[in-house]
Every structure is written in structure tokens, then in C-alpha cells.
Amino acid sequence: MWWKKAGGSKIYDSSEEIPAPDVDRSLRLFMFEACHYCKRVFSALEKLQMSVEMADVRKDTAVRQELYSLTGRTQVPCLIIDDVPLFESEDICAWLEAYAARGTQTS
């Protein structure tokens, strides 16, 4: 299913293949600190001793607009993996665990 933004251009294909956690990837987490689901991802990152670039959608309206422009949604947490969005905290945590298991630390 394609998500569309105003004007009808396609932004996000929910069936788009999520990049495998088998090589170094560019990672960016769209989040806000008080979000219960984001806290689940923060805990996973801490447990895995990983750090990723974070973009707080509540502190900066431009960041929120960027998330919407990338995905057609403002849902957090959203992990951008090499320009492909991954939503849902449990899915993000599972992906991060697999990524960390291959021995890669991202900053």
C-alpha cells in the first residue's frame, strides 16, 4: 500500500523491503522523549550499547515536517534505515538487535 501526501505523490510503500541488518547502514530515529513506544527503543539501544542519530519531532517542527515529507506520516518511533522507514517499536527493536548481533556499532 502506498502512503500519499497532499498532491498525491507517493511517499512510502508499506510493503517496501526493509534493508537487511547485514552491512553498515545509515540510521536515524525520529522520536520524542515522552513517547512510551520510543522509550522501548531507547531501552533497546541502551541494552545493545548502540547510539543512533536522533531527531526529536516535538522539539523541532522542521523535524516533524521532515518525517512527514519522508513517510507521509508523523508516527514515532520511526527508524530510517538507508532512506527506508521502519515503524513500530517492536519491529525497530528486533531490527536493532539483529544489527547489533553482527557486531556493528553506529554513532
CA distance 78 to 49: 19
* Structure confidence at residue 103 as a pLDDT band (50, 70, 90): low
Contact predicate 89/104, CB 8 Å: no
pLDDT band at 86 (very low <50, low <70, confident <90, very high): very high
Q: Which residues contact 15 (CB under 8 A, 6 or more apart)?
A: 1
Per-residue pLDDT at 102? 85
Whole-structure pTM value: 0.81
Neighbouring C-beta atoms of residue 27, cutoff 10 Å: 22
Could you tell me the three cell numbers for 51? Answer: 547510539
